[in-house]
Structure 1
Amino acid sequence: MAVKRVRYYFYLRDVLVLSVTAFGGPQAFLAMVLDIMVRKRGYLSENDLMELNALCQVLPGPTSTQTISAIGYRIGGPNLAYLSLFVWILPATLLMILAAVLIDFLQENTAGSLDFAKFIQPMAIGFIIFAAQKTIRIMIQTKEAMVLMMLSAFVAFFYNSPFVFPLMLAIGGLSTSLKYNKQPKVNDKAILNVKWANFILWAGVLIGAAVLGHFTRLLPIRLFENFYRNGSLIFGGGQVLVPYLYTEFVEFKNYLTSEEFLTGYAISQGLPGPTFSISTYIGALSMREFGLSGKILGGFIAAAGIFLPGTFLIFFVIRFWDGLKKYRPVRAALEGINAVSCGMLLAAAYLLFEPLDANTFNILAIVATYALLQFTKLSSPLIIALGIVAGISYNWVIALI
């Protein structure tokens, strides 16, 4: 695969532009990368970009972030890849830490501090439903996948432990890998030249963080392990990450309230850059007991934990993917993994709605948000801004009355 060697500065400048202008999720991100890095700069060909993006989609972790890292790796090796990762995630990370600090300050110093989020909390459910529809339309193509999706949604409804999700993904992938004979054969023999260094790095950090967190019980180490584990298991993008994080940090560990989580998720939908930035907000609030420095540290720990495993894995797999994808069981397993991810996305909409009052106001806010996303060209940031303005205006009117 031929690529253009470039100076780090120019490539990183383009990555920074993307990080502050890429609204709209992975689809909009890919279109912008195609325009800037392929057509304008010529860093790589369109076919090269599509191949890298497809590879990132079948790996756990944030697809957009992995794609940026993979392009950097192709152009300038590991050093540029890690710099690309840092530049790409930094603006969203800083903004979500700021959001967490602001939310915590309002709750400590004002009465009814999240009243401005009266609209955007149910609006977050509308974003999830819209994302679920788009994801299901792409990923669910067979009756078997539909059944797997419904079964996984049912399990996630009633057994929403964070330890159940990875087991469901494994079972889903195994079940469809058994149908490998339906996959088209590849004539040439697959030759795998596997270099294990990055896999060992990924697994070593995963195991090391778990062991260290267990014995030290230090919150920063446990937080890093929590996010690193989630970043190692998420297939399907930032929307699929939501049920994992909600279950673990709201229901299981009670680090955040449902109200705080929904507010943060809605805010993250209005920001450019990686959709996994919601993790930064959760990490910051999880360490609020240590003051401002704790919130800042928690945000950066969460960012490192959620983004590093996907980067390690793309570095590992990119070296032998051409050979691996020729094995039919590997390609067949992706159907089950994607179906289970869609099921968990359906469950997320229910789990996030459950703590809200099932009143006319919340239902109308959800329906209106979905309708705006589905039937208008309004951007996500504008919709979120409208929700915040509506919440502030509503509270002002109530106060006058």
Structure 2
Amino acid sequence: MFEVFLAFLKLGLTSFGGPIAHLGYFRAEFVERRRWLDDRSYTDLVALCQFLPGPASSQVGMALGMKRAGWPGALAAWVGFTLPSAIALTLFALGVTHWTALAQSGVVHGLKVVAVAVVAQAVMGMARSLCPDRLRAGIAIAAAVLVLLVPYSVAQIAAMIAGALIGRFALNLPPSAAVAQDGFGISKRAGAVLLALFVVLLFGLPMWASALHSRLLLLVSEFYTAGSLVFGGGHVVLPLLQSALVPITYLHDDVFLAGYGAAQAVPGPLFTFAAYLGAVLPDSMQWGGAWGSALVMLMAIFLPAFLLVMGALPFWQVLRERHGIQRGMAGVNAAVVGVLLAALYSPVWTSAIHSRADFALALLAFGLLVFARWSPVWVVLLAAAVGWAGWL
């Protein structure tokens, strides 16, 4: 287990560039260097984690830890990969909380502006891969229109359900090839229990929070729901959490987006944005102080990813051979592009772009990310420096 923790801690400290880059780092480390599994098994594992909602790179890491050292290894992999960025974002949250001028500073404004470029890049990349035909492009546009006209989380969920139904009955996709199954040491019975627990928590947590009138449970249920519905990468967590949390917690969009911008500058999974949000909650909504709340919200958003990947591993071959499931998931992924496109306008654009200089910096950051292929961390640091210099 300690071997797994150290391996993933190194990656948690050095893996910049988002989930696709993370998967490349994982392949180099665990397929080529350590030879924990072969290339075909790794590719099939990546396919499963991209099929499921949640942070794909973290789910791959959990499964690799499970394969190497069992259940303790899965936990060690998650802790090692997540800990560095979670600590960094919690410290940033403490700075925003204790020095309120920081949230209105030029540095934070630069982080908000660069978020426009980061989300625009994500929308463009996802649209190319997930909306390659007219039908899926239409699903994406319809989802964006729905979410813009009905700015509540229920609209986002409705858009994904509609995308799944349209994909299931209207898309025509070639079936994927069958592959050998590797359950990673998890029995089908254990997998079924984990999947059942995922469903129970998804529907039970909101009802439990409502029955007990508990704000803490309500927040936990919102983070858990967001972690359960994020398809297409960590960027999609932005609109889900913003629409769910800002009305409940009264967090200002400036504070919300400052953390999202800072999350681009740290290694590891983007889902550690949840630690920042837990730490900046109002004192009356915190549990165990800023650090305790950061830990609770971090665990809440990652728990569905853990339950899903561990529960699905024993059934993956059966799942991937069902053509209807493949078509439905393709429709969901197209709807996700639309949800993120709507988020690009609100809250990202509306909260960050207030002048010609703001737009110029956003364009510069977008060009550096997309055409110059700069690492996101350097683009984020450049935007923060521009803001600090007072140019904005």
TM-score by length of 1: 0.90
Larger deviation: 45-54 or 74-83?
Answer: 74-83
CA distance in 2, matches of 1:185, 1:325: 7
- The equivalent of 1:67 in structure 2 is 60
Q: CA deviation at 1:186?
A: 7.0
After superposition, the Cα gap between the structure-2 partners of 1:131 and 1:55, relative to the gap in structure 1 and judged at 3 Å, is same
Q: Does the CA-based 8 Å contact 1:270-1:384 persist in structure 2? A: yes
Q: CA offset at residue 293 of structure 1?
A: 4.5
Aligned-partner Cα distance in 1 for 2:255–2:48: 34
Partner of 1:51: 44
Q: Percent identity?
A: 25
CA distance in 1, matches of 2:85, 2:156: 27
SS of the counterpart of 2:37? Answer: coil
The match for 1:174 among 161, 165, 173 is 165
2:302 counterpart residue number: 307
Partners in 2 of 1:26 and 1:169 — Cα distance?
21
Q: Give RMSD over aligned pairs.
A: 2.4
One of 72, 79, 89 as aligned partner of 1:86: 79
More moved, 52-61 vs 193-202: 193-202
Deviation at 1:211, TM superposition (A): 2.7
Measured in 1, the distance between the counterparts of 2:129 and 2:387 equals 34
Structure 1 segment 74-153 matched on structure 2, within 5 A:
74-107=67-100, 110=101, 113-153=104-144
Does the Cα contact within 8 Å between 2:123 and 2:340 map onto a contact in 1? yes
For the 8 Å contact 1:198–1:312, the answer to whether it is kept is yes
Matched, 1:285 2:280: yes
TM-score, normalization by structure 2: 0.92
Matches of 1:95 and 1:179, distance apart in 2: 45
Q: Bigger radius of gyration, 1 or 2?
A: 1
Question: Post-superposition shift, 1:264?
Answer: 0.8
Q: Residue by residue, what CA displacement relative to the aligned partner does 1:200-225 show, whole Å, maximum 9, x if unpaired?
A: 22123333422331122333222111
1:215 is matched with: 211
Query: Is the Cα–Cα contact under 8 Å of residues 101 and 292 in structure 1 kept in the other structure?
Result: no
Q: 2:14 aligns with which of 21, 24, 42?
A: 21
Q: 1:11 to 1:204 in 2, by over 3 A?
A: same
Distance 1:211 1:142, change over 3 A: same
Match of 1:319 among 311, 314, 317: 314
1:362 positional shift: 1.7
- Kindly tell me: are residues 165 and 112 of structure 1, through their superposed partners in 2, closer, same or farther at Cα, counting changes over 3 Å? closer
2:184 corresponds in structure 1 to none
Change (3 A) 1:127 1:111: closer
1:135-169 Cα distance to aligned partner (Å, 9 max, x none):
11111111110000000011111112112222221
What CA distance in whole angstroms lies between the structure 2 residues aligned with 1:13 and 1:338? 34
CA deviation map 1:27-63 (0-9, x unaligned): 1111111111111100111111111111001111111
Distance in 2 separating the partners of 1:325 and 1:178? 17
Rounded to whole Å, the distance in 1 between the matches of 2:107 and 2:18 is 25
Which letter maps to 1:243? Answer: P
Letter in 2 for 1:338: N
1:206 matched to 2:197: no
Q: Structure 1 residues 66 and 90, CA, compared in 2 at 3 Å: closer, same or farther?
A: same
Asked if 1 retains the 8 angstrom alpha-carbon contact of 2:54 and 2:233, the reply is: yes
State whether residues 148 and 336 of structure 1, in contact with CA within 8 Å, keep that contact through their aligned partners in structure 2. yes
Shift of 1:194: 5.1
**Alpha-carbon distance in structure 2 between the residues aligned to 1:310 and 1:124:** 25
The amino acid across from 2:362 in the alignment is: I
